[in-house]
Amino acid sequence: MATETMAPPVAAAGPRIKSELMQQRVRAARWFLLPMLIALAVVAGWPLLRSIYFSFTDASLNNLYGAEWVGFGNYLRWSVLESGTVRYRGLLVDANWWNAVWNTVRFAFWSVLWETVLGMIVALVLNAEFKGRGIVRAAILIPWAIPTIVSARMWSWMLNDQFGILNDLGMRLGLLSQKVAWTATAETAMTAVLVVDIWKTTPFMALLILAGLQMIPKDIYEAAEIDGVHPIKQFFKITLPLVRPALMVAIIFRVLDALRIFDLIYVLTPNSAATKTMSVLARENLFDFDNFAYGSAQATLLFLIIAIFTIVYIWLGKVNFDGGSR
Amino acid sequence: MRLNKLLVSMLASVTLVAGAAQAAELSVVSGDTGNGLAFLQEQLDKFEAQTGHTVTVVPMPSSTTDQFGQYRLWLAAGNTDIDVYTTDVIWAPQLADQFLDLTEAAAGVVSQHFPSIIESQTVDGKLVALPAFTDAPALFYRKDLLEKYGKSVPATWAEMTATAQEIMDGERAAGNPDMWGFVFQGNAYEGLTCDALEWVKSYGGGQIVEADGTISINNPQAAAAIDMAAGWIGTISPEGNLAYMEEESRGVWQLGNAVFHRNWPYAYALGNNDDSAVKGKFDVAPLPAGEGPEARSAATLGGWNYAVSKYSKDPDAAIELALFLASPEVQKERAIKQTNLPTVEALYDDADVLAAAPFMSNWKAIFQNAVPRPSAPTKTNYNEVSSLFWSAVHNTLSGNGSAAENLEVLEADLADLKGDAW
């Protein structure tokens, strides 16, 4: 993800030549960017604008083109009853929506926290020199390489209360007194989803952190060793600060991914209110129910929430996408 | 010599191309469960041999809710890849605009089918789909266990609960810790709407939304029915039942780990397969009745149909396929091999069918009195109505509030959804 920044031209050249050369490079760069910008506008920009537009209409799937403008009605509307009480309706006062937002945030927080901690441990292990490191590095990527829908289905069988291997193991080892319906009960459903996500995405986190770790010069550790710095102190005083830029980028990738989580939950616990996330709810309204406009409003709000989060994160965390200034 | 060969192969390729131009390439979607896909393929092979068309089966997830979402999306986008859709009995009012009118094409054959089923697939005078089979659920029971404990087939839910508890306790003490009393479809999806509608109706609690559009669900009988079901979870039904769809509950049953099982008739043929632990040890009965003045045995009307997409590139061939799949010949084989209930009245007196599935002679009456889900009065809102209903029931089953509390909220939500009219 570290993009090569264009190196400034050699200092020996005069100011006029430099600016001409720069201009030429900028022009060339624009041409190179153009295909990507067009592709982005077609596959991301246009659909985004369309769903934002639909969220202000009364569109339904059977009547997309005859949709009429309703302003902010899908977000918030109110009516005054005869008694004088004001009744609010719409997405912003929809308890289901805020439950989904809360589920998503909860999911994102715990999954990213665990993935970061575990990913860091795995990365530190893989960064050490040992025999067969190449094979271990490849093997640890397997969960990440399996398509989510496949691994989710696999886990849903493993978690099954009657024929699942987890319950079988638990009973045989005496860890469980009775079979647990992991995905069915509200208390364990979120944990089950979290475990599968952590299993699946820790390798991704480990890989990104490992890349950061390998950029740390070895001589710093040698110097620390000569000074007799304890390894734990080395980690907190040397490794962590130096790997921080890569770590911050890895975390934001994961958080963005986690905030729009859909497939895993759709397969494991599709209709449980305990795990329903923003994306799952938006899909339900868009396609299952006859609420295309309302679903579009949810998709739009989901987009805004992720956008605001990203901006705040970059601003507060001073994330540098150039791969860290050193 | 070589030239001759070349000529022959050229001629052959010309005839092949010409042949392909007449024969259509069709696609049919199917969310069939169990060995249903193999059965469908077998029938399609016959169709291909008869007509020269080629048909591809596009398999879908078994959850009807998932299928519907996908079909709606494809149809809204005018997808030309799918010619024939397998549709649930409740979908006709919601998808009618997207399917071809089959009235004319099926004019000669509709009279073979039960009129009520043809009517359920007719929207504003347009025949939207042709019936493949109808469905009315059964109470599957282990006759060997009932005999062992000297019990009779339960006629009420209370009897069933008591019997299930006793046999479950007995079998567990005898060394099968995995034994359960009753398994059903408890996941939060369309299947739970079917199961719960049966409980409510069996207590005389109405059918959620009545035919005239009145919301009737918030009543003490309905609450009593759902509270009764909530009492099963963790006692005679496993906690995991809250996540079971048809196939998961059939899994528990077919391993021999349940005394009673609520499912559709397709599970009858599968349960009598050679690899089934309950082969020859079970039978089916109508679902038990509830309590109260209007108590009765209630079965939710199910069933599947074939509809032709109006975006099909080859509508004539697609209609031909739908007619073939709904024909008495295919329905007869379906009844024998899949124990699906035919919609052709004559087949209920067919000796071959009754030999394969003796219970069917009783089922004609059951599905004719079956309760329809409120898809007709609630129109395009049906899915949301159903989702609100199954959520309220699922909450109650999971111990999130009592049935009375949840049904009160449900009534308010339905009223909001309804607005002035459905």
Distances (CA, A) of B125 to B85, B94, B118, B319, B414: 20, 15, 11, 18, 28
pLDDT over threshold 90, residue A289: no
CA B141 to chain centre: 20
User: Which chain B residue is nearest to residue A292, measuring alpha carbons?
Assistant: B73
Choose among B179, B51, B368, B77: nearest CA to A179. Answer: B179
pLDDT over threshold 70, residue A1: no
State which residues form the domain around B336.
22-135+302-368
Per mean pLDDT, which range of A111-115, B99-103, B397-401 is the poorest?
Answer: B397-401
Q: Is residue B15 part of a domain?
A: no
Identify whether residues B315 and B278 lie together within a single domain. Answer: no
Q: Is residue B80 part of a domain?
A: yes
Query: pLDDT tens digits for B324-348?
Result: 999 999 999 999 999 999 999 899 9
Query: How are beta strands B258-263 and B180-183 bridged, if at all?
Result: parallel
HEC string of B340-378 equals CECCEHHHHHCHHHHHHCCCHHHHHHHHHCCECCCHHHH
Out of B94, B189, B248, whose CB is closest to A271? B189
Tell me the average pLDDT across A278-298: 91
Pairwise CB contact (< 8 Å): A161 & B94: no
Q: Which residues of A touch B178 (CB under 8 A)?
A: 162
Return the H-helix or E-strand segment holding A19.
helix A15-40
Identify whether residues B91 and B30 lie together within a single domain. Answer: yes
Per mean pLDDT, which range of A121-125, B180-184, B244-248, B303-307 is the poorest?
Answer: B244-248
Identify whether residues B155 and B296 lie together within a single domain. Answer: yes
Per mean pLDDT, which range of A183-187, B353-357, B377-381, B384-388 is the poorest?
Answer: A183-187
Q: Is residue B4 part of a domain?
A: no
CA A121 to chain centre: 20
Identify whether residues B131 and B142 lie together within a single domain. Answer: no
Q: Is residue B9 part of a domain?
A: no
Query: pLDDT tens digits for B266-294?
Result: 999 899 989 999 999 999 999 999 999 99
Identify whether residues B276 and B147 lie together within a single domain. Answer: yes
Per mean pLDDT, which range of A6-15, A169-178, B69-78, B237-246 is the poorest?
Answer: A6-15
Cα–Cα dist A32/A40, whole Å: 14
Length of chain B, please?
422
B295 to chain A nearest CA, in Å? 31
Cα–Cα dist A192/A275, whole Å: 10
Domain end point (choices B346, B368, B390)? B368
Q: Which residues of A touch B94 (CB under 8 A)?
A: 290
Q: What is the DSSP letter of A324?
A: -
Query: How are beta strands A86-89 and B54-59 bridged, if at all?
Result: unpaired
The domain that holds B406 is classified in CATH as 3.40.190.10
Cα–Cα dist B211/B199, whole Å: 18
Domain end point (choices B348, B368, B388)? B368
Identify whether residues B112 and B32 lie together within a single domain. Answer: yes
Q: Which residues of B touch A62 (CB under 8 A)?
A: 76, 97-98, 380
Query: pLDDT tens digits for A39-66?
Result: 999 999 999 999 999 999 998 887 778 8
Identify whether residues B314 and B287 lie together within a single domain. Answer: no
Per-residue confidence band for A314, with pLDDT thresholds at 50, 70 and 90: confident
Averaged pLDDT of chain B: 90
Q: Is residue B17 part of a domain?
A: no
Identify whether residues B112 and B241 lie together within a single domain. Answer: no
Q: Is residue B182 part of a domain?
A: yes
Query: pLDDT tens digits for A242-259?
Result: 999 899 989 998 999 999
* pLDDT at res. B65: 79
pLDDT over threshold 70, residue A31: yes
Collect all residues from A whose CB is shorter than 8 A from any CB in B. Answer: 60-62, 64, 89, 160-163, 179-181, 183-186, 269-273, 283-284, 287-291
Return the H-helix or E-strand segment holding A79.
strand A77-80
- Report the residue of B62, B71, B183, B248 to disrupt the A interface, i.e. the one with the largest count of A CBs within 10 Å: B248
Choose among B386, B375, B321, B366: nearest CA to B121. Answer: B375
Return the H-helix or E-strand segment holding B71.
helix B64-76
Identify whether residues B49 and B165 lie together within a single domain. Answer: no
Identify whether residues B241 and B109 lie together within a single domain. Answer: no
Q: Total structural domains in chain B? A: 2
Identify whether residues B332 and B222 lie together within a single domain. Answer: no
A284 to chain B nearest CA, in Å? 8
Query: How are beta strands B25-30 and A77-80 bridged, if at all?
Result: unpaired
Identify whether residues B414 and B278 lie together within a single domain. Answer: yes
Q: Is residue B2 part of a domain?
A: no
Domain end point (choices B328, B348, B368)? B368
Q: Is residue B1 part of a domain?
A: no
* pLDDT at res. B235: 95
User: A–B: how many Cβ contacts below 8 A?
Assistant: 90
Domains of chain A, each with CATH number or no CATH: 98-317 (1.10.3720.10)
